[in-house]
């Protein structure tokens, strides 16, 4: 239980640290903040584990794992899984168009929202709507696509990601390339 207890403390610090870091971060690569926070939490966990007593001064004797490597690996693994969940939740809560609709509806109170209004929230009237404004520059910077004249061309790294994505979609039977059949 020492590993799990330290992992819980590390995760708490990770959440607080990433929330504070996001407030001062000015770029649009938030994943770096999250990964940095996770690296710091994992390092802190790894440093604290050998330096603290097996019972952390508070755990009952029956809660102790006799094998320190198992205890350590278990805590680190749980920390990684919980971090992954937190990371996904943060992106979903802050960036997902679906969550955007729910937050907007909550702010509106009894007033509902039409499909047209929900679409307008995503900047349909702009030449490149919000969905692409965020993604295209990142894909170009990452070397996945390039801009050629008025169009974008897929580059080999992007092709590999597309192949992997198509494979994963086939695994879950979600591969539907036709317009309108199963949109992104």
Partner 1 sequence: MLKGMVLAWVLVWVWALMQGIVFQLRAPEKAFASMVTWFAPMPVAYVLLHLLTPADLGLLPERFVGGAAALSLLNGLALLVLLFLTGVLFYYHADRSITVRLLIEMARAPQQRMSVDQMQAVCGVEVLMHDRLRTMAMNGFLEERGGGYHLAPKGRLGGVAGAIARRVLAMKAL
CA distances from 82 to 10, 38, 41, 72, 75 (A): 11, 10, 12, 16, 11
Does 47 contact partner 1 by CB under 8 A? no
Q: Quick check: 58 binds partner 1 (CB under 8 A)?
A: no
Decide if 64 contacts 1 (C-beta within 8 A). Answer: yes
What gap in Å lies between CA 154 and CA 143, rounded to an integer? 9
Stretch that binds partner 1, among 5-13, 38-46, 48-56, 155-163 (CB under 8 A): 155-163
Q: How far is the CB of 173 from partner 1 (least distance, A)?
A: 4
**What does the alpha-carbon distance between residue 176 and residue 184 come to, in Å, rounded to a whole number?**
10
Quote the least distance from Cβ 42 to partner 1, whole Å. Answer: 16
Residue 146, strand partner residues:
153
Of 39 and 88, the one with the shorter C-beta distance to partner 1 is 88
Mask: binding to partner 1, 65-94, rule CB under 8 A, as x and -? xxx-xxx--x--xx--xx-xx--xxxx-xx
Per CB under 8 A, contacts with partner 1 among 92-151 are 93-95, 97-103, 105-107, 110, 112-115, 117-119, 122-124, 127-135, 139, 144-145, 148, 150-151
Does the CA dihedral 126-127-132-133 come out positive or negative? negative
């Amino acid at each position: 239980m020492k590993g799990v207890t330290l992992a819980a403390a590390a995760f708490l610090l990770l959440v607080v640290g990433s929330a504070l870091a996001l407030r001062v971060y000015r770029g649009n690569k938030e994943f770096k903040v999250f990964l940095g926070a996770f690296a710091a939490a994992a390092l802190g966990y790894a440093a604290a584990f050998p330096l603290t007593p097996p019972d952390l001064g508070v755990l009952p004797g029956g809660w102790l794992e006799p094998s320190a490597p198992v205890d350590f690996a278990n805590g680190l693994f749980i920390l990684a899984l919980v971090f992954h969940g937190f990371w996904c939740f943060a992106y979903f809560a802050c960036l997902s168009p679906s969550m955007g609709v729910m937050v907007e509806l909550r702010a509106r109170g009894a007033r509902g929202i039409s499909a047209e209004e929900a679409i307008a929230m995503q900047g349909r009237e702009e030449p490149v709507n919000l969905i692409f404004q965020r993604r295209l520059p990142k894909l170009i910077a990452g070397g996945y696509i390039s801009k050629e004249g008025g169009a974008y061309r897929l580059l080999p790294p992007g092709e590999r990601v597309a192949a992997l994505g198509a494979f994963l979609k086939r695994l879950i039977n979600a591969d539907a390339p036709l317009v309108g059949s199963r949109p992104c």
